[in-house]
Amino acid sequence: MEKAKRPPRGTRKREVPLTEAGIYAAALRLIDADGVEALTMRKLATALDANPMSLYHHVPNKDAVLRGVARMVGTQFRTVTLKDAPWQERIRLLATDFRTLAHRHPKLMAYSFSHQADFIQPEDPFWVALTAILDAAGVPHSELPLISALVGAVITGVLTAELNGALHRWSSLKPPTVGEDGFTPPDHDENRVFRLALDTIIMGLESRLAADGDGQGAGH
Amino acid sequence: MEKAKRPPRGTRKREVPLTEAGIYAAALRLIDADGVEALTMRKLATALDANPMSLYHHVPNKDAVLRGVARMVGTQFRTVTLKDAPWQERIRLLATDFRTLAHRHPKLMAYSFSHQADFIQPEDPFWVALTAILDAAGVPHSELPLISALVGAVITGVLTAELNGALHRWSSLKPPTVGEDGFTPPDHDENRVFRLALDTIIMGLESRLAADGDGQGAGH
DNA sequence: ACCTGAACACCGTTCAAGT
DNA sequence: ACCTGAACACCGTTCAAGT
Q: Are residues B67 and B38 in the same domain?
A: yes
Residue B59 has pLDDT above 70, yes or no: yes
Q: Are residues B44 and B91 in the same domain?
A: no
Range A146-153 average pLDDT: 96
User: Rounded distance, CA B174 to CA B170, Å?
Assistant: 9
The DSSP string of A82-142 is -TTS-HHHHHHHHHHHHHHHHHHSHHHHHHHHHH-TTSS-TTSHHHHHHHHHHHHTT--GG
Contact present, B7 and B13 (Cβ < 8 Å): no
Contact present, A26 and A36 (Cβ < 8 Å): no
**A146–B171 CB contact, under 8 Å:** yes
**Distant-in-sequence, close-in-space partners of B37: CB < 8 Å, separation ≥ 6:** none
Phi, psi of A179, deg, nearest 5:
40, -125
User: Rounded distance, CA A189 to CA A181, Å?
Assistant: 20
The lowest-confidence range among A46-60, A137-151, B13-27, B31-45 is: B13-27
Task: Tell me the CA–C1' distance in angstroms for A41 and D11.
Answer: 9
User: Rounded distance, CA A218 to CA A150, Å?
Assistant: 12
Range A91-100 average pLDDT: 97
Q: Are residues B129 and B201 in the same domain?
A: yes
**Among A32, A50, A73, residue at a domain's last position:** A73
For residue B25, the enclosing domain spans: 20-73
pLDDT band at B172 (very low <50, low <70, confident <90, very high): confident
Supply the CATH number for residue A63's domain.
1.10.10.60
The predicted model scores a pTM of: 0.88
Supply the CATH number for residue A182's domain.
1.10.357.10
Of A147, A150, A161, the CB nearest to B153: A161
C chain positions with any atom within 7 Å of a protein CB: 2-6, 10-15
Percentage of the residues of chain A whose pLDDT score is greater than 70: 82
Is residue A148 in some structural domain?
yes
Residue B53 has pLDDT above 60, yes or no: yes
Q: Are residues B90 and B189 in the same domain?
A: yes
What value does the mean pLDDT of chain B take? 86
pLDDT band at B157 (very low <50, low <70, confident <90, very high): very high
Q: Are residues B175 and B193 in the same domain?
A: yes
Q: Are residues A174 and A103 in the same domain?
A: yes
pLDDT band at B181 (very low <50, low <70, confident <90, very high): very low
Tell me which residues from 133 to 152 on chain B have a beta carbon below 7 angstroms from nucleic acid strand D.
none
Q: Are residues A107 and A176 in the same domain?
A: yes
Which pLDDT score, from 0 to 100, does residue A189 have?
72
Domain count, chain A: 2
CA distance A45 to chain B (A): 23
